[in-house]
């Protein structure tokens, strides 16, 4: 017992010496370890082990999600193989499933949302960080962040009952009249469909992108900005040549964070996307996303193949968002620490 604690102390001491050499704040750890008697060491070892066990629980849940989804979608994976991702048929009667339409719908609605949300969010972030009078910044920022707190199902319901009819009566006829020669703006004005889903998603991700971007803008050192202003730059030139280049990693991270949210958003999309399995150039036509397919069909799925196809859809969604959110985290972290 004694020997092991000595060993541990030596290991810790080495660690502390390393910490000293890297200029961190080591005396805290040193003090913590030097005044330990045997009982204290055991108590603290147990404490450290317990917290570590709980912390690794998060990693375990993460791994379990991937493993369970992978294992349970085996029937579908073995039956359809790679063609699951490229086939357009979704036929529960003949038990033939292909995920292309939900995947395209997910990507398309997210893309539409980003097209609208990126310029709007950058504008809002710029306003909050640089333009608004100081007394307005905190309440305005809070208001934008509150948009993120509204449950997504409320957005969906609002989209179905308020935005949908508006789109059908005014926006879509107008678009057809002015831009109707494009294939994107043709077909009947039903109100619900890809475009409406994209708009509701836009509203949902604006607060995420704009609040992170505002924080990125606020991290730009004041002397840099003042130097540029001193040279006679206009506000826009300072933003374009100083703030955006300085914070580009953070902004990319913010955009990918919003993208990850939009990809996995379920309720807001399910209400307004129309839930139809067909692919069309028109943005007015109803479609489907992975999340809305799951929400609509999961409890009704009978048969192993049907269920495991839905689970495979879930796995695909999880992996796509995993990649996007990892990129977001990596960029956000880089923008916080060393910058180049």
Partner 1 sequence: MTLLTRRKLLNFIVLTLSGMAAVLGLFMLSWILGDVAWKGFSSINWDFFTQLPAPPGVQGGGLVNAIIGTLLMTGTAACIAVPFGMMSGTYLAEFGKNNLVGHLIRFLADILVSAPSIVIGVFVYLVLVKPMHNFSGWAGAVSLAIIMLPVVSRTTEEMLRLVPPEIREAALALGSPYWKMTFVIIYRSASSGIATGVMLAVARVAGETAPLLFTALNSPYWMHGMNEPMANLTVVLFNYAMSPYDDWHRLAWGAAFLITMTVLAVNVFARIMLRAKRRMS
- Which residues ranging from 102 to 131 are in contact with partner 1 (CB under 8 A)? 119-124, 126-128, 131
Question: Based on CB atoms, which residue is closest to partner 1, 128 or 282?
Answer: 128
DSSP 161-220: IIIHHHIIIIIHHHHHHHHTTSGGG-S---S-SHHHHHHHHHHHHHHHHHHHHHHHHHTS
Question: Based on CB atoms, which residue is closest to partner 1, 28 or 88?
Answer: 28
Q: How many residues bind partner 1 (CB under 8 A)?
A: 94
Is 311 a binder of partner 1 (CB under 8 A)? yes
Q: Which of 85, 154, 179, 227 binds partner 1 (CB under 8 A)?
A: 154
| Residues contacting 102, CB < 8 A, separation 6+ | 90, 288, 289, 290, 292, 293, 313
| Helical packing angle, 248-264 and 100-126, nearest 10° | 140
- CB of residue 151 vs partner 1: minimum separation in angstroms? 3
Is 318 a binder of partner 1 (CB under 8 A)? yes
Pairing of strands 90-91, 96-97: antiparallel
- CB of residue 39 vs partner 1: minimum separation in angstroms? 8
Q: Which of 155, 185, 284, 331 binds partner 1 (CB under 8 A)?
A: 155
- CB of residue 181 vs partner 1: minimum separation in angstroms? 28
DSSP one-letter code for 20:
H
Is 38 a binder of partner 1 (CB under 8 A)? no
Q: In angstroms, rounded to a whole number, what is the distance separating the alpha carbons of residues 216 and 210?
A: 10
The candidate with the shortest Cα–Cα distance to 2, out of 38, 34, 49, 33, is 38
Site string for partner 1, 169-208 (x = CB under 8 A): ----------------------------------x--x--
Per the structure block, which two tokens stand in for 48?
């450290």
Q: Which of 5, 26, 92, 158 binds partner 1 (CB under 8 A)?
A: 158
Q: Which of 11, 56, 91, 178 binds partner 1 (CB under 8 A)?
A: 56
112 in Cβ contact with 195 (< 8 Å):
yes
Q: In angstroms, rounded to a whole number, what is the distance separating the alpha carbons of residues 42 and 59?
A: 26
- CB of residue 238 vs partner 1: minimum separation in angstroms? 10
User: What part of residues 222-281 is at the interface with partner 1 (CB under 8 A)?
Assistant: 234-237, 239, 257, 260-261, 263-267, 270-271
């Amino acid at each position: 017992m004694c020997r092991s604690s000595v060993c541990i102390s030596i290991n810790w001491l080495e660690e502390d010496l390393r910490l000293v050499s890297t200029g961190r704040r080591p005396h805290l750890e040193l003090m913590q370890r030097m005044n330990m008697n045997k009982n204290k060491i055991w108590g603290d070892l147990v404490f450290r082990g317990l917290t570590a066990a709980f912390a690794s629980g998060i990693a375990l849940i993460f791994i379990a999600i991937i493993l369970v989804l992978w294992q349970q979608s085996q029937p579908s994976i073995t039956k359809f193989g790679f063609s699951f991702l490229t086939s357009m048929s979704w036929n529960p009667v003949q038990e033939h499933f292909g995920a292309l339409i939900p995947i395209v719908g997910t990507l398309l609605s997210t893309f539409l949302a980003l097209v609208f949300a990126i310029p709007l969010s950058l504008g809002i972030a710029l306003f909050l960080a640089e333009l608004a009078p100081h007394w307005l910044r905190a309440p305005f920022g809070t208001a934008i962040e509150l948009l993120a707190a509204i449950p997504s199902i409320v957005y969906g319901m609002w989209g179905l009952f308020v935005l949908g009819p508006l789109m059908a009566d005014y926006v879509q006829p107008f678009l057809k009249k002015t831009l109707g020669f494009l294939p994107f703006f043709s077909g009947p004005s039903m109100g619900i469909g890809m475009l409406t889903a994209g708009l509701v998603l836009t509203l949902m991700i604006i607060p995420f992108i704009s609040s992170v971007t505002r924080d990125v803008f606020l991290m730009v050192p004041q002397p840099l900005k003042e130097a540029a202003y001193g040279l006679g730059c206009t506000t826009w030139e300072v933003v374009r040549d100083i703030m955006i280049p300085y914070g580009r990693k953070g902004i990319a991270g913010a955009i990918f964070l919003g993208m990850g949210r939009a990809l996995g958003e379920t309720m807001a999309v399910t209400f307004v996307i129309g839930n139809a399995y067909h692919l069309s150039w028109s943005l007015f036509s109803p479609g489907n996303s992975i999340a809305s397919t799951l929400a609509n069909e999961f409890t009704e799925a009978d048969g192993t193949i049907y269920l495991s196809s839905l689970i495979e859809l879930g796995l695909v969604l999880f992996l796509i968002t995993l990649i996007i959110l990892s990129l977001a985290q990596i960029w956000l972290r880089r923008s916080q620490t060393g910058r180049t």
